[in-house]
Amino acid sequence: MLSLKGNSITFTYNLTHVDYETFIESYGDISTDQLIERKISDLIKKRVEKKEELLSLPSWENQIREAMTQMGFSQYIYLENVSRRAYQAMMKAVQMEISSRSCPVPADRSTVFELMRFKVLGPDMDRLDQCMICVGEMFLAEEATTLPCSHIFHNSCIEKWFHVGHKCPICGFKLLSQK
């Protein structure tokens, strides 16, 4: 049985004694949520290691649904929760990828200075995603920077990033580097 309480989902399974023992042998004595989070963490690590496309939300949703089905959660069909978990997994994977990249050569200061900067206005709010460096929201009247590859970051975040590297943290687009 699946029931919704507030923002959480409650699962009720009628497992026989044998089914419960098999479940415990397979997954240990952990909550359903912990089990799902563990599987999603494994999925994130695997996708980052294999250099799979990290910014495809439908791909994350499909893989999370598939993993849940393999774990026996065939009743887990509440799409908003799958979408939320998929979005969180995608953000964690991008953070993991960003932190693993080595960008030892700083960007050329004049190139960074010439990047397009703008103040976030009302109409921008719908088209802007989170800053993938700090994973923070873009707020009204905040300074943002657009790279030549069209990725947008908080101005302060990307300036700090380019003090130690010369590549876009998302796609690897190279700015001129210091010599």
pLDDT digits (tens, 9 = 90+) for 69-89: 777 765 544 445 787 888 888
- Asked whether residue 169 is domain-assigned, the answer is no
> Among all chains, which residue has been given the structure tokens 């109409």?
123
Handedness of CA 31, 35, 36, 41 (dihedral sign): positive
**pTM recorded for the entire structure:** 0.45
Last residue in a domain, options 100, 126, 154? 100
> Among all chains, which residue has been given the structure tokens 């026996």?
72
- Asked whether residue 178 is domain-assigned, the answer is no
**Same domain for 113 and 68?**
no
**Same domain for 80 and 10?**
yes
| 170 half-sphere exposure, CB direction, 13 A CA radius | 21
**Same domain for 87 and 156?**
no
> Among all chains, which residue has been given the structure tokens 């990725």?
151
User: Which residue range forms the structural domain that includes residue 145?
Assistant: 109-164
In this predicted structure, the answer to whether residue 51 has a pLDDT above a threshold of 90 is no
Mean pLDDT of 26-46: 77
Burial class (CB in 10 A: 0-12, 13-18, 19+), 167: buried
In this predicted structure, the answer to whether residue 35 has a pLDDT above a threshold of 90 is no
In this predicted structure, the answer to whether residue 118 has a pLDDT above a threshold of 90 is yes
State the pLDDT confidence band at 18, using cuts at 50, 70 and 90. Answer: very low
Strands (E), 16-171: 116-119, 143-146, 152-154
> Above pLDDT 90, what percent of the chain?
17
In this predicted structure, the answer to whether residue 11 has a pLDDT above a threshold of 70 is no
List the one residue out of 155, 96, 149 whose CA is nearest residue 131.
Answer: 155
What's the mean pLDDT when you consider all of the chain? 78
Structure tokens at 9: 């989902």
**Same domain for 67 and 147?**
no
Last residue in a domain, options 100, 125, 151? 100
> Above pLDDT 70, what percent of the chain?
74
Most trustworthy range by pLDDT among 2-16, 77-91, 130-144: 130-144
For the CA atoms of the chain, what is the radius of gyration? Answer: 21
**Share of the chain residues as helix, strand and coil, in percent rounded to the nearest 5:** 45, 15, 40
Mean pLDDT of 107-134: 89
Mean pLDDT of 148-158: 93
Mean pLDDT of 79-103: 75
